[in-house]
Amino acid sequence: MKDRQIPQERLDLLWILAYAAALLFILRLVNLQVLGGAHYREIAEKNRTQIIAQAAPRGRIFSADEVALVTSKPSFSLIYFPGQAKTGPEIDRMARALAKPLGADYDELRRNIYKAASREKPVRLAENLPPKIMLALSELKALYPGVDVIVEARRYYPFGAYLSHLVGYIGRMDAREWDSRSRDKNYSMDSRLGKAGLEQMYEKELKGKDGGIYLEVDSRGKLNRVLESRKWIPGADIFLTIDSKAQSAAEEGLKKSISGKGAVVALDPRSGAVLAFASAPDYDPNMFVLSGSEKEGLSAGKILPEFNVALQGSYPPGSIFKIITSAAILESGRVSPDEKFYCPGYYDAGSRIFKCWQKKGHGQVSFIEGLAGSCDVYFYCAGQRAGALAIERFSRAFRLGQTSGIPLPGEKAGNVFGPSLRAARKSYWFIGDTLNQAIGQGETLMTPMQAAGLIASVANGGIFHRPYYVDRIVKSDGQLFYQGKSETLSRVQLKDSTWELIREGLHSVVLEGTGQAAKITGAEIYGKTGTAQNPQGKDHAWFVAYATVNNEPSRIAVAVLVEHGEHGASAAAPIAKAVIEAALRSELSSKNRPAAPVAPPQGPGLPQPASPGGII
């Protein structure tokens, strides 16, 4: 018999494999018990408990004068906890009794209750219940054990469409949003979150901490008992820089305009704070939070206009661009401010006749007269003298082709029109291009926000601030969380004499030129009208202006666009006047002149100024 021995090398290999297996087992055990212990305990806890979430009130939103523009109000949901009503006749009687006050289909309601009873899982029978049926349901709660009403917070916009394009709206989370937030314990698949405007930009701050009813379930998910009810924590309150009276004047002016479409943006030239922000047509953010039946009644046949004209609408600036052309002309040194050009009502460019808006002509025109009367022929002649490249350079200096930087989604940058871009595309630049460029036509495009930044820079000596609309954010416990502040983006460097001449020309526009509709007793108004050609229909109307009182630094600059308004002098200037009067009401009153009557926001339950904190 032969003695077979296992070679030592094989024994060593077996021992190595055994040690490796033991090491893997130990590492897995450490991972389960130590590194991943908290995670697996959480999973086990979730398997043991279920939560019926109660949405926390989102933070409120206030205007600068502390009018509550966005709040939350109580919302009632009807819950059925199975385990009490067991028999079929009991469930049938309960379904029949609940169907009438709820206005629900009896068969569908009965099916939902039977399903919940068979699975022994709680179910929401109705949401967003109006307070008027709560008394009836309270009586039924005593008769049918297992039926309960929970209170949640529902977003509420008391003034409807007021400031809608800045505030935005909330809506139910979609699949993509759930993927990015599924690990956040404060969100569930049916949570609502900000979808547009500052509701979206400040979602983290506005979102409170949800409460809920915690239920104990067995291994099969059946309800054992209610463990506890946890109270919500409201979100932080946001106080805006918006002046509610100026905003009302802006919205009212657009509604009454010839087309009802356009935008108004008012800025504080000293800081970039947004004083008014209106875009028409607007929409009611309540549409996105109403229940199905409520929404059906309000939105029948309506398309919600979410397009933000103030930020996303790019238009030829027309004659308001002559402010930029003026800077190029005066800085070039090629045209004396006193030099006059003759305007017969047209300019002969050789191959084409370019008309002035004043068909009979302006006669002999100097710089101040040309700006005050918005003489196209003056700017044709002087703009050619300054040169297309100079006009393009100052377009960029005044931040055309760049977004303003306001923290809102979807802002457009407009478009700079000039010979360098044509050269980059290996295309030609013609004399007609320079003539169109000089008066803000051609391919030049500007948003109302950019126009507001332009006139604000004239008011403050060339400074472009990043526009901001949040003054401060205050937590529900009263703690200051955030304070808004001014941020300088760039500065236009012009000679003092250039600034003085431009301002003198803009003052003359209002005193004796095309902008006389914007005159305000007690204030000095500096403005520029604009009528922009529109190949799709009637011309668009522009007006930009800033105001000073008692020679103090200007604290309001405003840009108004009325789509298809035809004439800036008649369509846009009166709106700017109303906004300025509303914003300067205290200063104008101090000069013994009553402020222009501006209607406050109208809506159900006008809120009073409130202090930070609280639910509504």
- Do 528 and 544 belong to one domain? yes
Calpha distance 559→518 (Å, rounded):
12
572, pLDDT greater than 80: yes
Per-residue model confidence (pLDDT) at position 225: 62
Residue 616: band (very low, low, confident or very high) from pLDDT cuts 50, 70, 90: very low
The two structure tokens encoding residue 61: 């939103």
Domain of 445 in residue numbering reads as 244-285+305-590
Of 232, 218, 233, 294, the closest CA to residue 52 belongs to 232
Sign of torsion over alpha carbons 104, 105, 106, 107: negative
Q: Which of 5-14, 271-280, 360-369, 387-396 has the lowest mean pLDDT?
A: 5-14
| Residue 395 confidence (pLDDT) above 90 | yes
Report the CATH number at residue 133.
Answer: 3.90.1310.10
pLDDT at 591 over 80: no
**Residue with the larger pLDDT of the pair 214 and 91:** 91
Question: What average pLDDT score do residues 249-270 get?
Answer: 97
Considering the domain architecture, whether residues 236 and 309 belong to the same structural domain is answered as no
* Side chain identity, residue 383: G
Is residue 309 situated within a structural domain?
A: yes
370 with 385, same domain: the answer is yes
Angstrom distance (rounded) from CA 364 to CA 339: 9
C-alpha separations of 156 from 71, 72, 298, 516, 616 in Å: 5, 5, 15, 41, 10
Domain-terminating residue out of 183, 205, 240: 240
269 lies in the same domain as 210: no
Give the pairing type, strands 61-62 and 237-240.
Answer: parallel
Q: What is the pLDDT of residue 74?
A: 80
Clarify whether residues 225 and 265 are in a common domain: no
pLDDT band at 176 (very low <50, low <70, confident <90, very high): confident
Domain shared by 269 and 195, yes or no: no
Total domains in the fold of the chain: 2
pLDDT in tens, 74-90: 877 777 777 655 667 87
Residue at 188 is within a domain:
yes
Distance from C-alpha of 402 to C-alpha of 414, rounded to nearest angstrom:
7
Tell me, yes or no, whether 535 lies in a domain.
yes
Whether 128 shows a pLDDT value over 90: the answer reads no
Pick from 140-144, 180-184, 611-615 the range whose average pLDDT is largest: 180-184
Residues 477 and 559 in one domain: yes
The CATH number of whichever domain residue 420 belongs to comes to 3.40.710.10
Same domain, 94 and 213: yes
Per residue in 463-521, pLDDT tens?
Answer: 999 999 999 999 999 999 999 999 999 999 999 999 999 999 999 999 999 999 999 99
Within a domain: 14: no
Residues 396, 260 share a domain: yes
Q: Is 391 a domain residue?
A: yes
Query: What pLDDT is recorded for position 1?
Result: 47
* pLDDT tens digit sequence for 27-60: 777 665 666 556 555 544 444 566 666 778 899 9
Residue 293 pLDDT level (bands cut at 50, 70, 90): very low
